Amino acid sequence: MSDDRNRSLNQEALIFHSTGRPGKIEVVATKPMATQRDLSLAYSPGVAEPCRIIHRDPNQVYDFTAKGNLVAVISNGTAVLGLGDLGPLGSKPVMEGKAVLFKRFADVDGIDVELDSTDVDEIVDTVRVIAPTYGGINLEDIKAPECFVIEQRLRELLDIPVFHDDQHGTAIIAAAGLINACALTGRKLSDVRMVVNGAGAASIACIELVKAMGVGVNNVVMCDSKGVVYRGREAGMNQWKSAHAAETDARTLEDAMVDCDVFFGLSVAGAVTKKMVASMADNPIIFAMANPDPEITPEDIAEVRSDAIVATGRSDYANQVNNVLGFPYIFRGALDVRATTINDQMKIAAAEALADLAREDVPDEVARAYRGTRLQFGPEYIIPTPFDPRLISAIPPAVAEAAMASGVARKPIVDMENYVNELRARLDPTFGVLQLIFDEVRANPKRVVFAEGEEEKVIRAALAFKQEGYGSPVLIGYPERVREMIREMGHDPDELEIVSARDFDNRETYYDFLYARWQRRGLLYRDCQRLVNTDRNVFAACMVANGDADAMVTGITRRFSFAYEDVRRVIDPRHGQRVFGLTMLLSRGRTVFIADTTVHELPTSVELADIAVQAAAMARQMGHEPKVGLVSYSTFGNSTHVTSDNIRGAVSLLDSRELDFEYDGEMSVDVALNPELMELYPFSRLSGPANVLIMPGLQSANIAAKLLQSLGGATVLGPLLVGLSHPAQVVPIGSSVSDLVSAAALAAYDAGKN
C-alpha cells in the first residue's frame, strides 16, 4: 500500500470514527418506551414478575432478557491486529468493530469490554463475575501465551461459549480451505505433510484443529523465529510449543519445506522464499496468511510453481482466509441452541460447512461480483466469499447440529428447516447485495466524473474511489487550484486526473452537441458555449453523453433541483422509462424503498404506475421480492382528494399490465407497513408489509425520507436517480465522503449495465 493511500485511508478512518456520535455502536431499545405504561412495564413495577420467574428458574433468563443474543467482546489490547500492545483503550475501536461485524453478519448483539489488566488471574476473575450478563464470550487480541491460559480456564469455569477468535477463527477458515485443496489435489488429510510457520495463538489453533480433523500428529512441523520446534529443543520453548514439537532432523524453515505438501503461514511478510516453494511436493498447498502482507505473494509463487493452490489473508487475491466467515455464524449457531461451550466438533462442523458451500453452484448475484466471471469450485475458489448470502443459512445450522450431537446444547432445535428459514430472514439482503455491487464495480472499473472538483470533500471522495479500485475518477475544476488543494492534503497531484473546459480538446464537439439539443428550445449557439465553459455539471454531463466518461456524480454545492436541471439539459430519460428519485432506508434489518423523492412534484396516475414498476425492479435488483404499497393519507377509498384519485388511478393502470410483483393501494403508510393493521383489510393483495412505498407527491416523499433519517436513525442511501439514459447521480447538499463514493460507485455500476 502506497504512502499516499495509507495517508488518505487514515484520514478517512479518523473522520469516519469521529463524525456525529463518536464510535460505531449504541444501545437501542427493542420495546416501545414512549408512555408511562411502557416504562412501568419495562421497569418498576412490571419488571418484578420476570425477575421472580428467573429467580425460580434461571434458565428462563433467555426467555425474558437479551442474554441469549448477547456476546461480550473482551480484550486487554496486548496484541491488537498487527500493531502490538496498544492497551485497553487503544484496542477499543477494534472491539467496537468486532461488535459491528457480529451484528452485520449474524444479527448477534456484541458489547465490547476492555480490561485494564495483563494479569491472567485478574482477567479470568473479571470475566467470570460478569459472565451472567452474556450468552457468550469472544476473547480478542490478547497476546500468547496468556490467551491460551485465559481461554482454557474460562471454558472450565463458565457454562456459556468461550471463543478466542484470533486462535480458532483463523483455524476454522484455513481448515475449510485445506479440506477443499486436498480434494482438488487428490490428497487425504491423514497423509499430508504440513509445515506451519509461526507459534502464536492462530498457529497453534490451526495445528490442533487439523490434527483433530485427521492430519497425522507426526506429520506437522511447527517453526518459530528460532527455526523448527523439534523434540528436545530448549531455547524459546513453552508448554504449547512442546505439545506440538516434531520428531525431525529439520532445523530451519527451509529444511522443513522440502517435499512438504502444505504450508500454513501465520508469521511475517517475506518469511518464505521462492526457493522454499520450489522445493515443495507436487501440487503444493500454500496458505500465506500474514497480514497485511503475506509470507510470499501469489505472484512470486507463480514464478516458480504453476501447480500451487494459494490462499492469503487479503481480499485482493483469490481464496481469502477471513475470520468474518467464521465467528459471527459460529456464535449464531451456538447461541441458538444455548450451547455450554464451543467444542472441536462444532469447529470442525463449521469448517466442513464452509468447505461444502464452496463446492456448491454460486448464485448469480455473487458470481457477478467477483472478477467478472462465474466463480466455480477449483484452485481459485476453495473458500466462500465473505458476502455470500448463503453463509447465514449454512454455517449456524451445522454448528447447532454438532452442538446437539455432542451433548452441549441445552435447547435443541426441533425443526431444522424452519430454523434455516428464520436465519435467512434475520439479515436484510440489501447489505450484502450492495457489497456485491461494489465488488462488481471493482471487477469492471469505470471512468467517473466528479463535477465539483474544487471541493475538498469531493477530492477526498475521488481519492477514496480510486483507492477502493472502483475506477478512474476525473475532477472538474481549474487544474492549478485543484493541484494545490491536493498538495495541501498531503497527496501527489498526479494521482488524480483534473479537467477544465478551457483546456479540453473536445469542447467544440460539446458545443455542437448541446446546440443540436436546444436550438429549437430557446438557446443560441453562444448560450451553449457558455454553459459548457462555465457550468461544470453541464460539462461533466457532456463528457458522459459523448463517451468521454462512463458516469458522473455531483450535488454537494447546489440544491438538487438546480443540479438535476443541469444534468437533464444534456441527458435524456432511458427509452420508455421515467426519471425519478429512489431513496433506500435501512434500519434494524429492514429496508424500505421510497419513490419519488426528487423529481415529480405531483405525479399523475400514469407516472405513478411507471414509477411503481421501475422501483419494484430496483428493489428486486437489491435482493428483495417487491411488495409495493401505493400510499396516501387515506386507506381504500376514504378520501376524494386529487392525490388519492391519482393513486387509485395508478392501481387501475397496474391492474391492466402483466406484472410479477405484489402491489396495492391506496393505503395509509401505517397500514402498508404494519401487518396487524393490514389484517383489518383482508382483501388487500399484499401478503406482508410493503417494502416499496410509492408516494403521492414529491413533498410527502422527501419529508418522509428525511424524517426517518433524522429521527428514526435509519441509514439512508440516495436519493438515487433512476431512469436516465446515461449514468448520473446527484447527491444531497451536505453529503459525506462516503455518500459521494457510494453514489459514484452506483453510477459506475449503472454504466456497466447500459
Catalytic residues: 43, 98
Three-state secondary structure call for residue 695: coil
In this structure, the number of other CB atoms found within 10 A of the CB of residue 202 comes to: 26
Please list the residues that pair with 72 across neighbouring strands. 111, 137
Exposed/middle/buried for 517, CB within 10 Å: 0-12, 13-18, 19+?
Answer: middle
Closest listed residue to residue 341, CA positions, set 160, 171, 212: 160
Distance, in Å, from the CA atom of 691 to the CA atom of 629, rounded to the nearest integer, reads: 8
H/E stretch holding 647 reads helix 642-655
304-317 burial string, b = 16+ CB within 10 Å, else e? bbeebbbbbbbeeb
Exposed/middle/buried for 728, CB within 10 Å: 0-12, 13-18, 19+?
Answer: buried
Distance, in Å, from the CA atom of 241 to the CA atom of 395, rounded to the nearest integer, reads: 31
Residues 6 or more apart whose CB falls under 8 angstroms from that of 363 comprise 388, 389, 390
Distance, in Å, from the CA atom of 323 to the CA atom of 318, rounded to the nearest integer, reads: 15
Contact at 8 Å (CB) between 335 and 108? yes
Distance, in Å, from the CA atom of 185 to the CA atom of 557, rounded to the nearest integer, reads: 58
Measuring CA to CA, how many Å separate 316 from each of 13, 102, 493? 20, 23, 26
Q: What size, in residues, is the chain?
A: 754
User: What count of Cα atoms within 13 Å lies in the side-chain half-sphere of residue 14?
Assistant: 5
Distance, in Å, from the CA atom of 602 to the CA atom of 659, rounded to the nearest integer, reads: 24
372: left (phi over 0), alpha (psi -120 to 50) or beta: left
> What's the angle, vertex CA 10, arms to CA 5 and CA 12, rounded to 5?
95
Closest listed residue to residue 647, CA positions, set 602, 682, 592, 605: 605
Distance, in Å, from the CA atom of 138 to the CA atom of 162, rounded to the nearest integer, reads: 6
Contact at 8 Å (CB) between 256 and 195? yes
H/E stretch holding 450 reads strand 446-450
Strands (E), 203-323: 220-224, 227-228, 262-265, 285-288, 309-312
Distance, in Å, from the CA atom of 540 to the CA atom of 627, rounded to the nearest integer, reads: 36
Measuring CA to CA, how many Å separate 63 from each of 58, 67, 335? 10, 9, 13
The set of long-range contacts for 570-576, using a CB threshold of 8 Å and a minimum separation of 24, is 570/514, 570/517, 570/538, 570/541, 570/542, 570/544, 570/545, 571/541, 571/544, 571/545, 571/724, 571/725, 571/726, 571/728, 572/724, 572/725, 573/723, 573/724, 573/725, 574/723, 574/724, 574/725, 575/725
End-to-end Cα distance, the chain: 33
Across the chain, which distance is largest between two alpha carbons, in Å?
Answer: 93
Distance, in Å, from the CA atom of 239 to the CA atom of 251, rounded to the nearest integer, reads: 19
